[in-house]
């Protein structure tokens, strides 16, 4: 990890119960190998053509049960930590300032990613990035 760089990662969460109940459909596709998110116009079904935008990131995590457009399996909490948290800890141990923050609207999965599903169980499979950093 470079000492002066900012890394931007995106984690795509599954639909919540309300969204499932409203029969929402996804307007994005990811390519986790290329770290891209493709967003299409919500009136279109295909991910190409007018109204389609492709965004590039340092890391893209697909956390939906069905595979992404490239067949990638859903990212686990361990995958996110291995990709983001572990290098951040190593960077700090190397004497550099490090910061990790989650940004997004309410209900987008920030707390789940950072803390995990059950904050009382440190080091468990569902532990988020923060408890894993503390245990590192």
125 belongs to a structural domain: yes
Q: Which residue in 49, 7, 53 sits closest to 28, CA to CA?
A: 53
Of the listed ranges 5-9, 14-18, 50-54, 81-85, the least confidently predicted one is 50-54
DSSP string, 74-114: PPPHHHHIIIIIHHHHHHHHTT---------STTSSHHHHH
Find the domain containing 108 and state its range. Answer: 76-136
Q: Which residues are annotated as a binding site for ATP?
A: 104-111
Evaluate if residue 109 carries a pLDDT over 60: yes
pTM, rounded to two decimals? 0.83
Q: How many domains does the chain have?
A: 2
Do 57 and 96 have their domain in common? no
**Of 73, 99, 119, which closes a domain?**
73
List pLDDT tens digits, range 44-73.
566 666 678 899 999 999 998 887 767 778
Q: Which residues are annotated as a binding site?
A: 104-111
124 vs 10, residue with greater confidence = 10
Do 94 and 109 have their domain in common? yes
């Amino acid at each position: 990890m470079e000492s002066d760089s900012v890394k931007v990662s995106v984690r795509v969460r599954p639909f919540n119960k309300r969204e499932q109940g409203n029969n929402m459909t996804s307007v994005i596709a990811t390519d986790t190998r290329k770290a891209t998110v493709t967003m299409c116009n919500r009136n279109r079904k295909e991910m190409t053509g007018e109204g389609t935008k492709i965004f590039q990131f340092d890391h893209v995590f697909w956390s939906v049960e069905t595979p992404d457009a490239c067949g990638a399996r859903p990212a686990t909490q361990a995958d996110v930590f291995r990709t983001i948290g572990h290098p951040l800890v190593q960077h700090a141990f190397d004497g550099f300032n490090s910061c990790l923050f989650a940004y997004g609207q309410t209900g987008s999965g920030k707390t789940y990613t950072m803390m995990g599903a059950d904050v009382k169980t440190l080091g468990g499979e569902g532990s988020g990035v923060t408890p894993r950093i503390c245990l590192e």
